[in-house]
Amino acid sequence: MSKATPWETVSEHACFGGLQRFHRHTSAVVGLPMRFALYLPPQALEGAKVPLLVFLAGLTCSEETFTMKAGAQRVAAELGLALLMPDTSPRGAGVAGEADAWDFGVGAGFYLDATQAPWSRHWRMESYLLTELLPQVWAQAPVQRERTGIAGHSMGGHGALTLALRHPGVFGSLSALAPICAPSLCAWGQKAFTGYLGEDRADWVDHDASLLMQGAQKAPYPGGILIDQGQGDKFLADGQLLPEAFEAACASAGQPLTLRRHAGYDHGYYFIASVIEDHLRHHAAQLA
């Protein structure tokens, strides 16, 4: 666990009887200032320690995107569920090409630790989340470490799936919305993996959810994984998401999976807002 650094509260907002806070701190792991959002439901403000759901956002997003657009706090308040929304990526590192991060490739965090220069110095999102941010939140916020779930959207869905599979026992529940399910097979993942991990595809296996699930000796989440995918999603049509690859891997591993396909819905936050209540209830039930 990395040395804790003080959190600066950037802003605080009353929300459905709870508090929505935005924080900033200096990350020892990333070596840069990092931001995150934390929603505490009314039960936490009344003295209870509550379950925690980590939500990882996608390419082009920040800690504000899900927090402000998904409408998750209403149901989280009802369920007594805290929400942690980290930023997606290091910012302000001064790396050549960093400004192209939002062109669907290297520069965005991808929730892994880069091994290739120049990205390896700061692009350490996996270690940041698992060894720094989460331990600090568990220690300093009124949440229960043993009742922590993870979810994500798009690149964040990739992150949720891979981090949950790579770190057994850390997360008690798992779901994703329009996740990048097989990054080794799609242009987004190939570009990011080559930049961050190098050209040897053997080094990609541990960061590909479908390949990780294929290698599972038993179902890692016997209570089930929930995935929602819009059928009007242009990135699905472009072959960037490949939910069928993860579906096949789950079937081969005996992993229960609910993969819901929704006609007419695209990749954006109107879709997320339409299904997020089901995800919160999925996590609350599994973390109970």
Annotated catalytic sites, by residue? 154, 233, 267
Q: Are 50 and 26 in contact (CB under 8 A)?
A: no
Question: What token pair was written down for 4?
Answer: 């804790």
Alpha helices in 5-94 (DSSP H): 42-45, 63-69, 73-79
Question: What token pair was written down for 259?
Answer: 């993969």
Question: What token pair was written down for 99?
Answer: 């400004």
CB count in 10 Å sphere of residue 130: 18
In the beta sheet, which residues pair with residue 258?
226
Buried b (16+ CB within 10 A) or exposed e, 16-52: bebbbbbbebebebbeeebbbbbbbbbbbeeeeebbb
